[in-house]
């Protein structure tokens, strides 16, 4: 596929800030895959919190480090061109990929490193596949980091059944974490809004706490369980370590997926004082192997993606605004197929 003279539709922003209103629809050249890269004809991309947080400038000036920038890191589509040295894929392969920090997902074509691209089984649609690289893999790695065994060969810590708390359990990462922990036989307590209690229970949570209830506010299990592991997905400003400490088991671990400066300070203090209860700030870089693992679980019916809304590329800003509004149930998808 000769890409140098061809153009594609894309959505980009050219400065920090501005939210959905700052997204611009443009036509730009189709990228050419470099050594070790594949060119993907995009079918779907997934909007994550990190996309608009970077637009707001939380990692300024490093990400994005140049403008204009085409956002979205979760990619799903079909390989249409191979960069030099790529032998693990062929033209026509259906794939999922993560392209971080380069982004490019809000476009008709995107490039990704072949080493961070995984085959997409035929049972996994593009929309579902786009949900997996960041959200499902982050849930997987967070549980491993907390010492929660997910499978005999998965690399989690030990085989004992544990009490697991998942906050923001109806969100993108949380709904995968509930399923993964429950499927492995652990006892799962989950927090979410009241409207999503039925959904989260159906995903496998043994106990569901509404945010607005006294138990939910205190993260307190109705059965009195102390948590061995917490996957903290909620981006709740000011939720301190003191909110978790009373409900943890003696060697409980809180994996914080939205850590601020206070979380890093707490983790450092615990390390130097050899605290048995621990807070672990976590940023995940999805690997090909983990993407293959979660895609295989979806293909086998062991894991499912909850999609809150789908938006065509021509209205990508609607999905962006929905994600920024918070409290999305599951994932928000932008699709690049033929539009009505």
189-198: which pairs have CB atoms within 8 A and are 24 or more residues apart? Answer: 189/163, 189/164, 189/165, 189/221, 189/225, 189/227, 190/165, 190/166, 191/165, 191/166, 191/167, 191/216, 191/219, 191/234, 192/168, 193/327, 196/169, 196/170, 196/329
* Token pair recorded at residue 300: 């086998």
Distance CA 329, CA 311 (A): 15
Q: Which has the closest alpha carbon to 308: 122, 123, 174? A: 174
Distance CA 98, CA 1 (A): 22
pLDDT along the chain (340 residues), means of 10: 76 94 96 97 95 86 86 97 96 96 94 97 97 96 92 53 94 95 95 93 95 88 93 74 90 86 74 81 90 96 95 96 88 79
- Residue 331: HSE in the Cβ half-sphere, 13 Å Cα cutoff: 26
Distance CA 132, CA 128 (A): 7
Query: Residue 152 has what pLDDT?
Result: 39
Query: Residue 153 has what pLDDT?
Result: 40
Query: Residue 71 has what pLDDT?
Result: 96
Distance CA 70, CA 118 (A): 22
Query: Residue 1 has what pLDDT?
Result: 57
Query: Residue 2 has what pLDDT?
Result: 53
Query: Residue 3 has what pLDDT?
Result: 55
The answer, yes or no, to whether the previous bond of 220 is cis (omega within 30 of 0) is no
Query: Residue 236 has what pLDDT?
Result: 60
């Amino acid at each position: 596929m000769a890409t140098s003279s061809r153009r594609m539709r894309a959505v980009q922003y050219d400065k920090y800030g501005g939210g959905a209103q700052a997204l611009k629809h443009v036509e730009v050249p189709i990228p050419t895959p470099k050594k070790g890269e594949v060119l993907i004809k995009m079918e779907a991309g997934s909007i994550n919190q990190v996309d608009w947080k970077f637009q707001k400038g939380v990692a300024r000036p490093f990400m994005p480090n140049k403008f204009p920038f085409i956002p979205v890191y979760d990619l799903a589509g079909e390989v249409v061109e191979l960069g030099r040295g790529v032998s693990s894929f062929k033209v026509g392969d259906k794939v999922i990929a993560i392209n971080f920090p380069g982004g490019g997902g809000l476009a008709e074509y995107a490039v990704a490193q072949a080493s961070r691209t995984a085959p997409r089984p035929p049972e996994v649609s593009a929309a579902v596949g786009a949900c997996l690289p960041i959200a499902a893999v982050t849930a997987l790695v967070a549980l491993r980091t907390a010492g929660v065994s997910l499978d005999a060969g998965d690399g989690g810590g030990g085989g004992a059944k544990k009490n697991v708390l998942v906050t923001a359990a109806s969100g993108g990462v949380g709904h995968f974490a509930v399923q993964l922990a429950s499927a492995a036989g652990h006892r799962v307590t989950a927090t979410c809004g009241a409207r999503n209690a039925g959904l989260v229970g159906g995903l496998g949570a043994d106990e569901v706490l509404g945010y607005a209830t006294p138990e939910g506010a205190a993260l307190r299990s109705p059965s009195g369980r102390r948590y061995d592991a917490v996957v903290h997905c909620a981006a709740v400003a000011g939720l301190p370590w003191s909110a978790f400490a009373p409900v943890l088991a003696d060697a409980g671990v809180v994996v914080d997926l939205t850590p601020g400066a206070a979380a890093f300070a707490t983790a450092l203090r615990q390390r130097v004082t050899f605290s048995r209860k621990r807070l672990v700030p976590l940023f995940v870089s999805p690997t090909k192997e983990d993407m293959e693992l979660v895609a295989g679980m979806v293909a086998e019916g062991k894991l499912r993606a909850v999609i809150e809304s789908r938006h065509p590329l021509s209205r990508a800003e609607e999905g962006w605004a929905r994600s920024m509004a918070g409290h999305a149930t599951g994932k928000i998808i932008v699709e690049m197929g033929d539009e009505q």
